[in-house]
Structure 1
Amino acid sequence: MVYYVAHRLFSAHDRALGARVAGRLADKAGPDSVFLPFCDTDEEDLVAEVKGRRLFELDIERLTTLTGMIALVHGPSLDDGVCMEIGYAAALGVPVTILSTDFQTYDPNGHAPAWHFPDPLIDTMSHRVVRVSSLGPVEDITDRFAAFSSRNHSQLDTAISEGITAMLSAPAPSPALPPATARYGVYVEPSPYFPDPGLVDTVRSGGHTVLAARRLTDERPFAAAITDWEHAASAAALVVDVSGPETPPGAAALIGAAAARCQPVIAYQPHPVYTHASGREPNWRNLMIQYASTRHATDLAAVLDGLAW
């Protein structure tokens, strides 16, 4: 059995939280059954000719052998690497338990049934969302800051316990969607941040049938999310606009799912911003997005070129 702890990696407190979850999980499942990115890929000290790609390969090795995943998802800006990992696992039928201590929920018009995360596709891909949204009980501590800290730690402890229990009791992996035997059309995922009005028309101009995402504009977003998930899985290729402060969460999850199912993905990003880390090559997006994508297109002409198979 292999359990994967998906979490943000880019700050000490996020890594510490991931380690806290992994340690509690190891107490129940055994340390050799738990994979913790950054820690178990030795990211701080790893030396490789192309370090980012090597880190991607090491994570993918574990993602293809999973029994279960527990994903730590903080909103409203979800980590695109974690969302990619959620999509990869879900496409392989691995049950994904999402752990959140957020107190916000989301809906498209202020009065519709709410979903847990900014994109309902993340809810759709999860087997279970464990949400502990309230502070822990008040303790008899005179220092108000220490008391507040204690309530937050108590909230986290409750969430971790409930999340691990939910993951360990999840069913065995099974195919989430049947393999597409006759893939057709191009699934197009616009950016919710900076939608390019020419993207869909450009894909159509190449003679392709377009399966366009609609969950973020549909009156029934949950039903539309399921349709988007099915359309993306059946498409011959995906064109995903990864523009924004980070890859949008649904886009990142769909890129992960496509990588697991060996579907071509064109990541469209007309205004890339590169990130840098010691010993690692520049990345135009989170490295899990960069290396899961088949092609990076910075203009619409390059999108069409990528679809000219």
Structure 2
Amino acid sequence: MSVYIAHRLFAAHDRALAADLADRLAGKIGADRVFLPFCDTDEEDLVAEVKGRRLFELDRDRLGRLDAMVAILHGPSLDDGVCMEIGYAAASDVPVIVVSTDFQTYSVTETGAHLEFPDPLIQAVATRIVRVAKLGPPTLSPTPVQSRFRGFRARNAVQTDTALDAAVDTLLDLPERPSLRTGPPPGISTHVYVEASPYTAWGRDHLAEACVDAGHTVAVPQRFTATDPVAGALADLSAVRSAARLLADVSGPETPPGTALLIGAALASGVQIAAFQPRVTFTHAQGREPNWRNLMVQYATDAHLDSGEAVPPWLTV
């Protein structure tokens, strides 16, 4: 079994949590069968001519030969690199276990069905969800004086320990040949799937209209308006995997989680991808070229479009 640990890796506590999970899993299946990004790509010390692209290549190579993925996702702001990796695994029929300690649930309408994650796509493609939403029980100190902060920290540690142990147990309990959730790769059609940014608009927007004006058949997201958001999300995944092109608006503080997931699914399915981002911001890291999005999203795309005028030429390439 080869397992990929997908996790947010830009802060020490996130990397430490993922390392704890990887170590527990390695104790069960062997360290050589566990891949931990940043650690196993030697990201801090890696030297390459184009470092970000090299990191993408190393991660994608491992994504292409997996037996399972465990993804750590917390809170309403989901890491776009992790979501891209989830989409790649799901479209490759690799089982994905998602681990969360988020105590909130989400709905697309005030009275709608409650979901584990802000975008229904995450829930739709997850093979299993391990969610431990409550703190561990209060600890009783044998001494009369105990810092309430240390006690609170201990309860959080119990919560994460419980979640990580449950994730390992869930992975080991997966059938050796899990049933395919997304089915075999569908036949490629000629439509363009247009994913608008939730920071601008959902549904038929100016990007979809530009594709229609150019003579293309367009598919747009169903999951935010469907009576059953999870069914709508699976329909969106199927539409992207069978598309000729994916035009994704990646605007926002991060690529929206569902959009990032669809980019990963499109990459795994051989779909041509363009990222639309009229207002560009860059991230910088030691030894790495400036990146205009998470490097997993940036290098998954074939084109970066910064204006509406750039859409028609891309459609003819």
Partner of residue 186, structure 2: 180
Which AA in structure 1 matches 2:174? Answer: A
Q: Give the letter for the 1:113 counterpart.
A: A
Show CA shifts across 1:82-126 (max 9, x none): 000000001000000000000001002222211111100111111
CA displacement 1:252-289 (0-9 Å, x = unmatched)? 00000111111101111111111111100000100000
Letter in structure 2 aligned against 1:52: G
After superposing on structure 2, the runs of 4+ consecutive aligned residues of structure 1 that deviate more than 4 Å are: none
Match of residue 77 from structure 1: 77
What are the within-5 Å matches in structure 2 for residues 136-285 of structure 1?
136-141=136-141, 142-171=146-175, 172=177, 176-195=182-201, 197-285=205-293
Q: Which residue of 2 aligns with 1:86?
A: 86
Q: Which amino acid aligns with 2:301?
A: S
SS at match of 2:247: strand
The residue aligned with 1:131 is 131
TM-score for both structures, normalised by structure 2: 0.95
Structure 1 residue matching 2:284: 3-state secondary structure: strand
SS at match of 1:292: coil
Question: Is the Cα contact below 8 Å between 2:237 and 2:265 reproduced in 1?
Answer: no
Do structure 1's residue 64 and structure 2's residue 64 form an aligned pair?
A: yes
Cα 1:20/1:233, change in 2 over 3 Å:
same
Deviation readout 1:173-192 (Å, 9 max, x if unpaired): 66533223242200111101
One-letter code aligned to 1:157: D
Residue identity matched to 1:201 = E
SS at match of 2:130: strand
Choose the corresponding residue for 1:287, options 287, 291, 295: 295
Could you tell me how far apart the structure 1 residues matched to 2:193 and 2:208 are? 9
Deviations 1:198-238 (A, max 9, x none): 11101111100001112123333222111111111111111
1:4 is aligned to: 4
Identical residues among aligned pairs (%): 55
Q: TM-score, normalised by structure 1?
A: 0.97
* In 2: Cα distance, 1:302 partner to 1:158 partner: 49
Q: Give me the whole-angstrom Cα distance separating, in 1, the residues matched to 2:34 and 2:110.
A: 40
Q: Counterpart of 2:102? A: 102
> 2:120 matched to which residue of 1?
120
Residue aligning to 1:51: 51
Whole-angstrom CA distance in 2 between matches of 1:70 and 1:181 = 29
Is the partner of 1:88 in helix, strand or coil? helix
**Distance in 2 between the 1:8 and 1:178 partners?**
30
Q: Is the 8 A contact 1:94 1:174 kept in 2?
A: no
Contact 2:97–2:167 (8 Å) recurs in 1: yes
**Which shows bigger deviation, 55-64 or 293-302?**
293-302
Matches of 1:250 and 1:275, distance apart in 2: 21
Letter in 2 for 1:158: T
- The residue aligned with 2:13 is 13
Which string of whole-angstrom CA distances, capped at 9 and with x for unpartnered residues, describes residues 133-179 of structure 1? 00001111322111111100000111001111112222336653322
Letter in 2 for 1:239: L
Q: 1:306 aligns to what?
A: 314
